[in-house]
Amino acid sequence: MDKLKTAQMEMLRGQMVDTANRKQSLLHREVLLLSEMLDQMIIKAQREKCAKRKSGLKDYYVREPEEAAMR
């Protein structure tokens, strides 16, 4: 995950915590909205990471026999 995405997630997490403290509730609508937004960002990052890993494995296992023998 790149630094920009990490920074965005940390900023959103901070907003969520600040809002929860201000509203004195984890169940306040604004807190839940921020939590859902953060969840979506995390899920997207995990899917991207998984896709990269899968494509890397595919490249590794779909090599020509000569290339595989050299490893």
- 50 lies in some domain: yes
Burial classification of residue 71, based on how many CB atoms lie within 10 Å of its CB (0-12 exposed, 13-18 middle, 19 or more buried): exposed
- 13 lies in some domain: yes
- 1 lies in some domain: no
Residues 29-70: pLDDT tens digits?
999 999 999 999 999 999 999 998 888 766 656 555 555 555
- 3 lies in some domain: no
The confidence score (pLDDT) of residue 36 equals 98
Tokens (6 digits) for 65: 């026999």
Cβ-Cβ contacts under 8 Å for 30 (sequence gap 6 or more): 19, 23
The confidence score (pLDDT) of residue 61 equals 60
Q: In the chain, how many domains are there?
A: 1
Q: Tell me the pTM.
A: 0.73
- 55 lies in some domain: yes
**CA–CA separation, 1 vs 3, rounded Å?**
7
pLDDT reading at 12 higher than 60: yes
Residue numbers of the domain that contains 56: 8-70
Nearest residue to 18 (alpha-carbon basis) of 8, 32, 6, 31: 31
- 2 lies in some domain: no
Arithmetic mean of pLDDT, 17-23: 98
- 59 lies in some domain: yes
- 64 lies in some domain: yes
